[in-house]
Structure 1
Amino acid sequence: MTETSYLHAVRAFYDAVAVDHARQPGPALAGHPLDRAVLGAFAACVRGDAGGGAVADLGCGPGRVTAYLHGLGVRVFGVDLSPAMVAVARRDHPGLRFEVGPMAALDVADGVLGGVLAWYATGHTPRAQLAPTFAEFARVLAPGGYALTAFEVGDERRRPLRAHGRPVDLDAYLTPPALIAGLLTEAGLTEVARLVRQPDADEEAVRAFLLFRKPTSGR
């Protein structure tokens, strides 16, 4: 699947399910204390070491995690490939900013963001496209800025037959943490921490969280 065709497939699917997706509870942060702790640590790092710079929540979907970070005092905005998802996010969180766009080609100047979040946002990204995606993260981060990724752990490609009651013609990828960490390092970022947790009762795959930082000048 080429870059153009995979982006088209992702956009078409999430445009189709945006309203149904927003009606479902999704990943419940209230039931996942480790997830909340990771987001809390990311928020503290951005507010402190990164000087409170703006954070881009990439692949933000209906904006739930964007709103959660906002509640933690983060100056955050959401970006999603799906115009329908962005419309839902704007409806449900009218006080926050949401934009349409691909995470590998952000409408953001070089070196201006205090943080980049990809919270289960790269699960449909083919491995060949991960390196340029992470290079884009590094491009937009200010020196000292942080990148946090969350993803399902494995080493396989899946194509579920149905999701949200609809047939799906879309690949999902489970990825080893070492592969993601290596690509982030190649993009020029430095590892700060990683957490791997076992799936809860409502989950199928192991979850990983990687926190990386863009080096400051002279370090």
Structure 2
Amino acid sequence: MTDPNAAVTADFIEATRSSYDAIAPAYSAEHPDGLGEGPVETALLTAFAELVRTAGAEAPVADVGSGPGYVTARLNALGVQAFGIDLSPHMVALAREAHPRLRFQVGSMTSLDVADGTLGGIIALYSTIHIPDADLPRVLAEFHRALRPGGQVLLAFQASEGEHIHMTERYGQEIALDYYFRTPARIATFLTEAGLTLAAQARVEPTGQQRWGRAFTLAHKPSASE
């Protein structure tokens, strides 16, 4: 039986891939390290790395939607065996060039190329924002499948109530990129419905020219003792 959602899923994946391929050089030049020295981002990334190490440092961590690779690099500097996954082959090539000692591969968060229960953590900073609501449950179910018991998840996203933006141009390039913004409460619901246990949430209010606040959600796959 044909999955009626398969064509829709394939369409948004291909649109996201081709859009980031088109803007990869300009995006990577503007965001060589998008975390900067932000105290909240740095603290949460450090906390995530500590939780992963405590649960079992030998298990790898997937940086999903790794882009130019700066989050993957930061995690490795924090003692985590992180590797990057990105839809865009051009982004992956630029990440490999910038961080030649680290592993980056082309792939989709809708179907991770890892065995069941093998990851110590999954981090997705501003990448689930391109996943439609109808497909987000299967993405988080895929995270649950790939994580080992006790494995950690850290998501970052623009915090807004059900806002959908379709962009057709960025950096002077024609694109077809969709952004789906959600509240922390909405993300918490998606995570718990996927069988993940919510641990912490943080929100940073917009400043200056920023239009949206940013939110961070930390969760984990329950262990056998929970």
Secondary structure at the counterpart of residue 160 of structure 1: strand
CA distance in 1, matches of 2:177, 2:117: 33
User: Which residue of structure 2 aligns with residue 113 of structure 1?
Assistant: 119
Query: Aligned letter for 1:172?
Result: Y
User: Which residue of structure 2 aligns with residue 102 of structure 1?
Assistant: 108
- Give the fraction of aligned pairs with identical amino acids, expressed as a percent: 45
Contact 1:159 1:168 survives alignment (8 Å): no
2:24 aligns with one of 18, 21, 31: 18
User: Which residue of structure 2 aligns with residue 38 of structure 1?
Assistant: 44
After superposition, the CA RMSD in angstroms is 1.5
Query: Aligned letter for 1:156?
Result: E
CA distance in 1, matches of 2:62, 2:97: 19
Query: Aligned letter for 2:74?
Result: Y
Shift of 1:96: 0.2
Contact 1:143 1:216 survives alignment (8 Å): yes
User: Which residue of structure 1 aligns with residue 172 of structure 2?
Assistant: 165
Q: Write the mapping of 1:143-182 to structure 2, written as runs, cut at 5 A.
A: 143-154=149-160, 155-182=162-189
Structure 2's unaligned 5+ residue stretches are 1-6
Pair 24,79 (structure 1): closer, same or farther in 2 beyond 3 Å: same
Shift of 1:104: 1.2
User: Which residue of structure 1 aligns with residue 190 of structure 2?
Assistant: 183
Shift of 1:68: 1.0
CA distance in 1, matches of 2:171, 2:23: 7
Contact 1:46 1:52 survives alignment (8 Å): no
Contact 2:45 2:75 survives alignment (8 Å): yes
Structure 1's unaligned 5+ residue stretches are none
User: Which residue of structure 1 aligns with residue 202 of structure 2?
Assistant: 195
How many aligned positions are there?
Answer: 219
Query: Aligned letter for 1:58?
Result: V
Shift of 1:198: 0.6
Query: 1:103-134: CA deviations, max 9, x gaps?
Result: 11011000011100011111111110000000
Q: TM-score, normalised by structure 2?
A: 0.92
Shift of 1:187: 1.0
Q: TM-score, normalised by structure 1?
A: 0.95
Contact 2:159 2:184 survives alignment (8 Å): yes
Query: Aligned letter for 2:150?
Result: G
Query: Aligned letter for 1:35?
Result: E
Shift of 1:195: 0.5
Contact 1:50 1:146 survives alignment (8 Å): no
Moved over 6 A (4+): none
Contact 1:123 1:173 survives alignment (8 Å): yes
User: Which residue of structure 2 aligns with residue 126 of structure 1?
Assistant: 132
